Structure formats: structure tokens, C-alpha cells
Structure 1
Amino acid sequence: MSTPALVPLPASLEVVDAAGLPLTAATAVSGPDSDLLRTLVATRTGIAPAGTSATTPTVTLAVEPGGAPESYRITVDATTATVTGADAAGLFYGIHTLVQLIRPAGDGWEIPAVVIEDAPRFAYRGVMLDVARHFHPVATVTAYIDRAASLKFNHLHLHLTDDQGWRLQLRSRPELTEKASATSVGGDSGGFYTQDDYRKIVAYAAARHMTVVPEIDLPGHTHAVSLAYPDLSEQPVISDHIRETVREFGGGMPENGTAYDGMAVGFSSLKIHDEATYAFLADVLGELAELSPGPYLHIGGDEALGTDAADYDAFVGRVTGMVAGLGKTPVAWHEAGTAPALASGTVGQYWGYITPTDGMDEKARGFVRGGGRLIMSPADAIYLDMKFDAGSPLGLTWARGVTSAQRAYAWDPAAVIEGVTDADILGVEAPMWTETVRTLDDIDALAFPRIGAAAEAAWSPAVGADPERTWESFRARVGALAPLWARSGIRFTALPGIDWARED
């Protein structure tokens, strides 16, 4: 018997040598989230199970508290499939696993006989969407939420601001969207979310057991602020690297107070010693905290090359303290880990390589020493915006060149930074930066199938802990999801080296 095509791999999967459950329009579905299961089954098969007779095959959904958070159990035999979640999230994930199990059987469909006991390895399983380099409307964000939630991701990190644009309307500082939201990379049009738009995204995510993590990137990546508040911004610091980036990608040199649509990074900075900067941030962060019910608020901190190192440390310490004072847990990119006054418990996001370079690992360890934990986002593995093929017009290659699906899979979160174990890791996040990404189709093409590798790193047992937690198994399992993805409208890229299934 073949292993069912499940991604991420469950903690425990037993394939039973017995008949499975026939799935027809007469199959009865009962319990919480029945409508969700019916909708997903209809998408996968074209069948809308609506049976009511006790003598027909049945699918029973239930929540029974007592297990680990987000855990679930599935049992399937010839007459009944039962999905039991320890909580509502566990049931939701169990339903998506059940849908992945569905397979053709003769002229119809069936769910194979299995027993699954499943729970996540890490509590935080995230995807990030950069809506600053290119703005993405609410419909695109919610579509990405659905895609990610189906793979058991439970956090959406929204990169709301950058040099190219400010994307969230604030009552306290309306000039930010009035003057700094109109452009994107390459001269494309911009945009922003009204507060109602943002609330819709937050609510949509919550209904799928996903928490929104908003990011205001500071003190660098802040050129857009200069369009609204030039007095708060330092003059751009132009380095040879920035000149090289402009030569390669265009966009021109940044000038304070002028919209920037290039791809260079590291030139911008807020004024660290001006109290007006902190009054501005008190308004911005305070309002963002009010709008965001989740526990985390991300303050960026990456690539602040236009800020003096001592000033950077002082700034990061003060701003993480401001976030903590708002009742939120601060999150920052790993550069902030060596700041002496970093607020206790600040979460670090590691974006270095699988094999750390340039002291990236020591900076990341600073968060652990400060009572926080790490989110692992190694750029050369699960930055989903890296090219999957050298000839693709989508994506970039700065993170050690092309990132194959195999490289995206062949790493383990607890094997990256020496001395950092599962206990020190909050979770895993797969970012999608959007310098070259304009549409949902672009997101799909870059993310799928590699997002499945990130999902498995976040949810499944460690590499080597299960006979199926291997590249050979994954390439077969993820390839078998092709019909489900296609029927769900996901325009994935059929990368070589994966055994892609077809249903003619």
C-alpha cells in the first residue's frame, strides 16, 4: 500500500489493509465545520456530500478537548470516517488532511482506510507576504490565507511598509497613505489598506485559525516616511552596493521626499536622536496594536545600513520596549539580537543561511539569551521569492542562487544555529518578498510546491525522525497533490524532480 499524499507529513500515520470509505453524493457529513468539508470535497471531486440516511457512509466531525493544541485524530474504515480535533484549529487541520486523502477509485472516489494521530512540532507556522514592494489587494491576501491555512500555517506576517510604500491607513497619521502609498517597484501603481480592509484581513485569517503579524520595518526601509515626514528621515546613505543594484535593476538613486521605485536596500534611516521620531512611532505602533488582536508586532530591524551601529542598538532597545509597553510581544529580524537594551522576550526572526555566515548565528542567539525565542526563515531554503529556475522572470537569486525544491526541503530548523534547539524555536516562517511579484498567479508560481517544504519543516517531525520524512517521500507526496491544487485554482509550477500526478 502506498503512503497517502499528505503534506505536511503527520506525526503518526497507519495505513490499514482494508477497504476505504466510498465518497458519493449520498455520504452523510455531520458535526462542526460540516459546510467547510462539503465545500472542500466539492472542489476536489465535484461531489457535494449531502446524505442524511444512517445507513449510508458517514463522515463525523467533532471537537473533544484534552489533547495537545491544534492536534487531531482521523480514523477511516469502509463505513465511517471520523475527524476529532482537540480544539477548533485541530478539527480544521484534520478536515484539510481528510481532503488530501481523497483519491480516485474506479469511476468514483474514496478515502483510504487509515489511522492518523497528528500534532504540530512548532506552535508558530508562518508565511510572510510583502505588500510594500508591490501592493496586493485584499482578495489576493485572503486567497493566500486560504492556500497557507490548507497546509496548516497559522500566522500571516504582513510586511506593511518599506522604502517603496506605506500600505496601512492610520487615523493618527493620515499623511502616510495620502503621500507615501502611490508607487511600487518598477514604477507600478501602489495602494493601501483602509482600516476596514485591514480588519477584513484579520477577521478572514482568524476564521481560518491564522493570526496576522503586522510589520512596520524600522529604522531602515523607511524611505516612504520621508514623503510624508521629511523632517523625521535622514538623507539616504549611498554605498557601492546601492550603485551596483541600481546598475543591475534600475530605479535610480533615492532622494529624500521623492517616491522610490527601485530595489536597492539599506540606504534609509529615521532620525534616531529626534524625539519627534518616537512621538511618531508612539502613534503608529499604538494604533497598529489596537487594530491587531494577535500577540505579535514586528518592528523590522533588518538592513539598517544607513544607521550608525550604536544608534541602531539604542533605537531597537527603545522601540521593542515601546511595543512591550503596548502589551504586545516584539518581533525583529535577527540583526537586532545583539542590541544590549533589547526588550526581554523579544522574538527574533533569523533570515540568514542554512549555514550561518558573518555572525548571523551569534546575533540570533542574542534573542534566546534575552528570554525570547526564534522564528527560523533561512533565506536560501524557504524565501519563496527566490528563483526556482535560473531562466524564470520571477524571483531573485541573492540567497545562494536558485533555490530548488530539494534544497527547500533538505534542512531542519534545529540544525541551523549551534546551541539552538526545539525549545528555543518558536517556529518557522516562509517569506514572500515581492520585488518581482505583481499578481496572485506570480505568488502561486513561486510558492508552490516549495511552500510545502516549509510547511513540513514547521509541522512535521524532524528530518530523519520518521522514515517518510525524506526528500524521496516528499517529492512523491507533494506531486500527488497536483490535482487538488489544480482544482483549487492554484497555478503551481511543475518543477522537475517531483513526481507530478495527473487525473485525466
Structure 2
Amino acid sequence: MDLIPAPRACRRVPSSGHDRLDAGTLLEARAGTEGVARWFRATIGAATGLPFPDGDTTDNRVVLDIDPGLAPEGYRVAVDGHGLRIQGGSAAGVFWGAQTFRQLLGPEAFRRAPVDSGRAWDVPAVVVEDAPRFPWRGLMLDVARHFLPKDDVLRYVDLLAAHKLNVLHLHLTDDQGWRVEIKRYPRLTEDGAWRARTKRGHRASELWDETPHGGYYTRDDIREIVAYAAERHVRLVPEIDIPGHSQAAIAAYPELGNTDVVDTTALPVWDTWGVNPNVLAPTDNTLRFYEGVLEEVLDLFPAATSPFVHLGGDECPKGQWKASPAAQARIAELGLAGEDGLQAWFIGHFDRWLAERGRRLIGWDEILEGGLAPGAAVSSWRGYAGGIAAAEAGHDVVMCPEQYVYLDHRQGGGPDEPVPIGYVRTLEDVYRFEPVPPGLSPEAAAHVMGTQANVWTEVMESRSRVDYQVFPRLAAFAEVAWSTRLPADPAERDFAGFERRMAAHYRRLDALGVDYRPPGGPLPWQRRPGVVGRPIEGTPPNV
């Protein structure tokens, strides 16, 4: 049926042929499915031009129903001549079933208005039953390096939902910009959200965009994004980076930096890329400042939809701490094991602080250095090793190794690839990614909550560039994250079959207005001639 992700079971009902949606088709939303009904009318109703009035008096109806016998995110779509039924183990399951139903209607169902008012909306007679492999199926979107306006974030919520992905990790702060309004610290967005210029291409490039760049989400913007995502059963994971990747915050509030070894009053919001030496000072003032930030973040991202808060913890150079008498005094005072212990002290403090408020900390795998906080979870990005160590120690893990699922990495080796970054990671490479590494003990494997693709936007200056890097590879990733049909051995996966199904999926992406990379390579306007990248030759290192 050209469904993506591939469902666990799909069988035709030959005696029924098909059902047809028309102006008389009713929508019966049973208890708990009211939100799905709103989405159905707003999305499928808009594409078909059909009103789908409430009702349960005829077989010409679509029934939304929760069946406790199904897995929580599992669903069943039945088109068998006795009405159209979309059932799920929860409202989320019903919603994923509705996404499959939308695919059954054809690519035109992905448009915002009818393109043919006279067409018949036939639904093939099938029964589709499915449930996801992982509870965490995510995309990390870096809005700090290049800001994406609110409407673009809402659009990505819809794109995730269309692929049955259920986590949007927003990278909200970094050296190059602070993107969330914090009322008690207004300079974070007045000063920290804007940089004077931007390096164009890799940091080795000599090109600059001299246009000031910035932007941020107001508190109401965040509330809108959270509510919009919740209606689509997408959870938000906010990321506030500590103790590294913090120059934008230090530029706004210089006392946050290591003032005894650097003149922090002279630091601007950073305008280039790489690992920045300016890190947070290990002071009580810094702790209180970020507690204040996080109090507002927790208010904006409620526990029901954002149980995890990401605190980064990656790429924190220790040079300033080594040189700082104040930092060295703190290490001695606390009896820490050097600078690595100081980073672990930062993370441990906020792990306890978040746990006391009913949240869980998650961070990049560097938080393993110096000892992992007891309740923390790990985003394993430098390969599998950090995730394996964390899982074997009983910590929950999200697998996102850069060698496979960093979608900022180039998609082909040709000279026309725009701003080539990293290793060549093709559509097939992503399809053959396996989140659970071989040899992991069953007990440790149970700690792999799922997987996530990451999109770092240093060289993505627009929504169109983000689309190009993300798609079509996100479709392959979604199948890896969702489908229980894929063999665990990546070599045994039917990539040729996936490519055949992608022929239909490209038409869905066209209808959605996604500026994806075509199978034959970049179109002329997708290239960036003369903009320096950072190609890494050869095979990625052992992960």
C-alpha cells in the first residue's frame, strides 16, 4: 500500500473493494478521541473539502475509538464494508491510525485545500494493524544557530506527526543565540538573541553574511507550540545548554563567565562555528541564575508533555576552569576529581533540582564524564559507546550517533552537494541504521528508549535548507524508529522495497511543500557553489 512507516500487518478485504468518502460521510468521535476529530476535520477535511459532521446513524461514517486491548500507541484501521474504523490503544494510537488513513487516501490528502472538486475519495478495503517499536521517536531541531520562526516550528510538528515521530527536541540556546524569552532575565533575548553577522559555510570559510541575525520565541509562542504539538501527540524536549555552549548567555550577563581569566564584558554573541572556550563559571550565582531560567522553562513546558529537560553538557572545554583560581578553589572546596568532576557537579546539581520538580534530566553523552547523575538519561551522539555504557549501568538512553543520524551530514559525494558537511550519509545508510547495537545485554537493551535524528543548522540559513537536509532521509529514519517489521540485521532490510514505496511518498512531500533532496541529486537552486564545507573522506569510524 506504499505506507511509510511500513506497518506490522496490512491485508486487503477483497470482497469489499473500497469505501468512499462523500459529503454525507459522518465522523463519530467516541470518548477520548475529540482531539483527533479536530485534527481530522482541520486536515483531512481541508484537503477533501468534506465537512465530516458529527453522527452515528449510518454505515457511511468514520469511527474514532479507543480500544484498551491495543498497545498504547498501537492502532487498527479497518475498511471492510461496515463503516470506516480507526481504533487505537489510546488517543495517540487513534491519531497514528488517522495518519495511516490519510496515506490511504492518496497524496492529494496532504494538501491544504481540494485541487479537484469533482474527485471521488475512495479508500481501499484493507485492515491495517500496527504499533511502534520505540516510545521515543524524535528529531532534534537546532533553532539556536539559525533561528526558525514559530510558524516553521509548527510546520515541523506536522511533518513529524505525518511520519509518526513523537518527540521534537528544540535546541534553544547556544553560543550563537538564545531563543526563548525569560521574563526575569530580559537581556537573554534583548542582547543574547542577536548576532552582528554570521559565518557562511564551515568555520574555515572566508565568507561572511554581514546581515544581523536573530530572533526568539515569546512565552506565548512557546505555549502555542506546546499546545499545537500536544494535539498531535508530539512531546517537546527543551534544551538549555550548560555549562558549555553558553557564550550568548555570557554576552547578555557577563557575570556568568569566568571573569577572573577573561574579560567577559567584551564577549559578543558568537558569529562563527566550532567548540567555544567560553563556559559558565562554577559559582552559586550561576546556579541560581539557571534555576531561575529553568523555573520559567518548566512553566512553559508542562510535565505532561515535556517530562524530560535537556541540559546539553557536551563540548565543554576545561581550559578556563584550569586557569581560573575561583574554579580551582571550587574544586578543592567540593573535593571534586578535577575539572571533569566540576562538570559532573553542574549536571548533578540540576539533575537533583529537576527531580525534585518531577522532571528528568537528559544530556549528551559527555555527561558520563566525571560520573553520571543517578536519574539522568543520555543522548548518545558520539557513536554507540556512550549509550552502551549508560544502558549497561541502568540509565535510559536515546541513540542518535552522528555517524548515522546527523542529518546535517551530506547526502552524496558529488561536487554539487551544498556546503558538504561530515560523512556521506545516503537515504540507504539511514535506512540501515540500527538503534540497538548488537551484543547489548537484554537488560541494557530495555533501557534504549528509542532513537532520534539530529539537525544542526550552522550551514542551514533557511527553512528550505533545513528541508533539503532533513528529507527524504527523515522518512527512512521514521521507518527505523517505528516499524517492527524491519530485520535487526541492517543488511537484511529491503531497501529496494522502501525505494518503491518512496515513489508515492515523494508525491506526499510535494503536496506538503517540502523542499527535499531529489533522488538524482540537488536541483540547481539547491546548490551553494563556492561555500566551503568540511568533507570527511572515507568510512565513518567504528561507532
TM class by shorter chain equals 0.7 to 0.9
Closer/same/farther in 2, CA of residues 461 and 41 from structure 1, 3 Å limit: same
Residue 378 (structure 1) aligns with: 401
With the length of structure 2 as denominator, give the TM-score of the two structures: 0.79
Q: What is the match of residue 6 of structure 1?
A: 3
User: Sequence identity, in percent?
Assistant: 35
Equivalent residue number for residue 348 of structure 2: 317
CA change 1:442–1:38 in 2 (3 A) is: same
Q: Residue 202 of structure 1 corresponds to which residue in structure 2?
A: 226
Change (3 A) 1:104 1:332: closer
Cα deviation for residue 309 of structure 1 reads: 2.6
Matching of residue 442 in structure 1 with residue 465 in structure 2 = yes
The one of 243, 268, 271 aligned to 1:258 = 268
Separation in structure 1 between the aligned mates of residue 75 and residue 359 of structure 2, nearest angstrom: 29
- Deviation, 1:266, is 4.1
For 1:347-496, list aligned pairs within 5 A.
347-353=377-383, 356=384, 361=385, 363-390=386-413, 391=415, 394=418, 396-398=420-422, 401-415=423-437, 418-419=440-441, 422-461=445-484, 463-464=486-487, 470-496=494-520
Instruction: Report the counterpart of residue 335 of structure 2 in structure 1.
Output: none
CA distance in 2, matches of 1:479, 1:446: 19
Unpaired stretches in structure 1, ≥5 consecutive residues: 239-253, 498-504
- 2:151 pairs, out of 136, 139, 145, with 139
The equivalent residue for 2:316 is 304
1:217 and 1:259 map into 2 onto residues whose CA distance is 15
**Contact 1:166-1:176 at 8 Å conserved across structures:** yes
Deviation at residue 165 of structure 1 after TM alignment: 0.7
Alignment of 1:241-256 (within 5 A): none
Question: Structure 1, residues 290-321: CA drift from partner, whole Å, max 9, x if none?
Answer: 22112111000111124633322332222322
Matches of 2:52 and 2:287 in 1, distance apart? 58
Q: Is the 8 A contact 1:104 1:110 kept in 2?
A: no
Please report how far the alpha carbon of residue 278 of structure 1 lies from its aligned counterpart in structure 2 after TM superposition.
1.0
Q: Which residue matches 1:70?
A: 73
8 Å Cα contact 2:143-2:170 kept in structure 1: yes
- The 1:299/1:481 distance shift into structure 2, 3 A limit, reads same
Partner of 1:247: none
Q: Could you say which residue in structure 2 is the equivalent of 1:328?
A: 359
Please give the per-residue CA displacement for 1:17-52, whole angstroms capped at 9, x wherever unaligned. Answer: 4443243434613123345334444565x4526588
Spell out, residue by residue over 1:332-391, the C-alpha distance to the aligned partner (whole angstroms, 9 max, x if none).
001112432x332211001123xx5xxxx0x33343355421111121222222222344
Could you tell me which residue of structure 2 aligns to residue 295 of structure 1?
A: 307
Q: Give the direction of change, closer, same or farther, for the CA distance of 1:78–1:439 in structure 2 (3 Å limit).
A: farther
The SS at the match of 1:75 is: strand
Instruction: Give, as a single letter, the amino acid of the residue that structure 1 aligns with 2:482.
Output: W
Count of residue pairs the alignment pairs up:
467
Structure 1 residue matching 2:450: 3-state secondary structure: strand
Q: Which of the numbers 87, 91, 107 marks the counterpart of 1:88? A: 91
Deviation for aligned residue 1:217 = 1.1
CA RMSD in angstroms comes to: 3.1
Of the structure 1 ranges 140-149 and 82-91, higher mean CA displacement relative to structure 2 is found in 82-91
**Aligned counterparts of 2:8 and 2:313: Cα–Cα separation in 1:** 35
Preserved contact between residue 135 and residue 449 of structure 2 (Cα < 8 Å): yes
1:250 paired residue number: none
For the structure 1 residues 378 and 29, does the alpha-carbon distance in structure 2 shift closer, same or farther, using more than 3 Å as the test? Answer: farther
- Equivalent AA in structure 2 for residue 14 of structure 1: R
Q: Which residue of 2 aligns with 1:164?
A: 176
Look up the match of 1:343: 373
Q: Which residue in the other structure is 1:30 paired with?
A: 27
Q: Is the 8 A contact 1:345 1:367 kept in 2?
A: no
Structure 1 letter corresponding to 2:284:
E
Q: What is the TM-score when the length of structure 1 is the normalising length?
A: 0.84
Q: Deviations over 1:118-171 (max 9, x none)?
A: 111111111111110011111010000011011111111110000101111112
CA distance in 1, matches of 2:4, 2:474: 10
Deviation at 1:81, TM superposition (A): 2.3
Alignment partner, residue 281 of structure 1: 290
State the AA in 2 paired with 1:289: L
Check 1:191–1:110 CA distance in 2 against 1; reply closer, same or farther (3 A cut).
same
What letter corresponds to residue 276 of structure 1 in structure 2? N
Change (3 A) 1:282 1:54: closer
What is the aligned partner in structure 1 of residue 142 from structure 2?
A: 130
Give the letter for the 2:64 counterpart.
Answer: L
SS at structure 2 position matched to 1:446: helix
Q: Report the CA distance between 1:53 and its aligned residue.
A: 10
Matched-pair contact (CA < 8 Å) for 1:27–1:56: no
For the residues of structure 1 that align with 2:180 and 2:500, how far apart are their CA atoms?
41
More deviation, 51-60/173-182:
51-60
Residue 140 of structure 2: SS of its match in structure 1?
strand
> 1:226: which partner in 2?
250
Matches of 2:300 and 2:260 in 1, distance apart?
Answer: 31
Kept in 2: contact 1:384–1:446 (CA 8 A): yes
Q: SS of the counterpart of 1:116?
A: strand
**Which of 203, 210, 213 lines up with 1:189 in the alignment?**
213
Distance in 1 between residues matched to 2:96 and 2:376, nearest whole Å: 29
Gaps of 5+ in 2: 30-35, 109-117, 200-209, 320-338, 522-543
**Matched residues in 2 for 1:406 and 1:425: separation?**
23
SS of residue matched to 1:474: helix
